Structure 1
Amino acid sequence: MGHTIAVILSGGRSSRMGRDKAGLPLGRETFLDRLTTGLTPLFDRVYVSVDRPGRYPGRRELPDLRPGQGPLAGLEAAFRSTAAEAVFLAAVDLPFAAPALAAKVLERAGEGDACVIRRRDGKAEPLFALYRRSCLGPLTGCLDQGRRAVMALLDRVDCRWLAEEELPEFDLERMLWNVNTGQEYRRAVAVEEEG
């Protein structure tokens, strides 16, 4: 597949959580540590997408070229700041995301511009997905037009949709659980403690 990196989207202002989600502890690691540890064996490099440099000292940071413009800006910075042929995006607020699921996305990606999981209810999971460099032109176009939603990009590229039915061995409800609020975080801690 060529030079492939992982980019962990460190989140925006975390307004619903009230504090930086990347640093939230879960078990013995933070959200950011869990994802970094899990993804490192699968990719050439793991970066953290940040709105400003120096947010996570000691990490490989990829500062947004368009701060405040959301995940597409993080993906644009990944392609413009590295030589990667493909970028695996992972949102930091998916603390139960399994490396095996990321590996499956890579394995099933095919030749398309992107590979994204689609749930049974039709909902897409674009923030735990693979994007190839061929997405750069369309995504820059989206950002230039003020279209910040990742789905706007997926409408413009050849996307390989990976149906939930193709992933029977994975508990997607848990692995793609987006922890956004204090209440959800407390529930995530309880789930982690239950094992």
Structure 2
Amino acid sequence: MERAIAVILSGGQSRRMGRDKAGLTLEGQSFLDRMTEGLAPLFDQVYVSVDRPGRYPGRQELPDLRPGQGPLAGLETAFLRTGAEEVFLAAVDLPFASPDLARRVVAAAGDGDACVIRRRDGGAEPLFALYRRSCLPALTACLDEGRRAVKALLERVDCRWLEEDALGEIDLERALWNINTQADFSRAAERREEK
């Protein structure tokens, strides 16, 4: 049985990029492959959250039960369609996110319902975070109420915060760099060799 899984959010409609971000490539490897390879050693299975089945042939897809409702709907689907107790949610458009950072998030979860990185400015990083099945009632309630922001869920569960200061050796600006536009992608391609 799959106790802990990773679910890669495949990027929705990618309006700002103008094309599917999962297929963008750096160093000859797609964003989806980069994320999958990074997370696969850490979890029982890696799934791809999709708005419709058949987007990524050969992948373990989890088609949304509530299409068009954003990341919370993908998380709800992951719990309802698998037996997983833990879901590590990861946005596909974080091409520099590292397995080490994922390990740190999992290790910091303790017995909380969720574990999310909190930046020095108070901002949260809920799309590279761990969620437990105990979140499901609050998650479903949020979606039923039309509250689609992940913040709405975090307000209702026991969230453990992994503070940025505790991750001093990790370059979070790079690791959590969200590639949303063609300009972002061009800069990422230029910086791909940076360590």
Separation in 2, partners of 1:63, 1:137:
20
Alignment correspondent of 1:86: 86
Correspondence list, 1:60-75, <5 A: 60-75=60-75
Deviations 1:106-127 (A, max 9, x none): 1111000000000011100000
* 1:157 aligned counterpart, secondary structure: coil
1:114–1:132 contact (8 Å) kept in structure 2:
yes
2-structure distance, mates of 1:194, 1:150: 31
Q: Aligned letter for 1:71?
A: P
| Structure 1 gap ranges (5+) | none
In the TM superposition, what whole-angstrom CA distance separates every residue of 1:42-93 from its partner, at most 9, and x where no partner exists? 0000000000000000000000000000000000000000000000000000
Equivalence for 2:151 = 151
Task: Provide the aligned length of Structure 1 versus Structure 2.
Answer: 194
Kept in 2: contact 1:27–1:193 (CA 8 A): no
Q: Percent identity?
A: 73
2: CA distance, partners of 1:27 / 1:140: 39
What is the aligned partner in structure 2 of residue 186 from structure 1?
A: 186
CA–CA distance in structure 2, aligned partners of residues 11 and 140 of structure 1: 21
TM-score calculated relative to the size of structure 2: 0.98
Query: Which letter maps to 1:124?
Result: A
What is aligned with 1:108? 108
User: What letter is aligned with 1:125?
Assistant: E
In 1, Cα distance between the equivalents of 2:13 and 2:130?
24
Q: Aligned partners of 1:85, 1:156: CA distance in 2, in Å?
A: 18
Q: Which amino acid aligns with 2:27?
A: G
Counterpart in 2 of 1:170?
170
Per-residue deviation at 1:169?
1.4
Q: Secondary structure at the match of 1:101?
A: helix
TM-score between both structures, scaled by the size of structure 1: 0.98
C-alpha distance in structure 2 between counterparts of 1:19 and 1:61, whole Å: 19
Where has structure 1 moved over 2 Å in runs of 4 or more? Answer: none
Distance 2:49 2:185 in 1: 22
Deviations along 1:1-36, whole A, 9 cap, x unmatched? x81000000011000000000000111200000000
What is the alpha-carbon root mean square deviation over aligned residues? 0.9
Q: SS where residue 57 of structure 1 aligns? A: coil
AA matched with 1:92 = V
> How many Å separate the matches in 2 of 1:108 and 1:119?
15
Residue 58 of structure 2 aligns with which residue? 58
User: 1:89-147 CA distances to partner (integer Å, 9 max, x unpaired)?
Assistant: 00000000000000111111100000000001110000000000000000100000000
CA distance in 2: counterparts of 1:82 and 1:55, whole angstroms: 19
Match of 1:27 in 2: 27
2: distance between equivalents of 1:194 and 1:161? 28
- Provide the C-alpha distance between the structure 2 equivalents of 1:27 and 1:152, rounded to a whole number of angstroms: 37
Q: Which consecutive residues of structure 2, in runs of 5 or more, have no partner in the other structure?
A: none
- Counterpart of 2:111, as a letter, is E
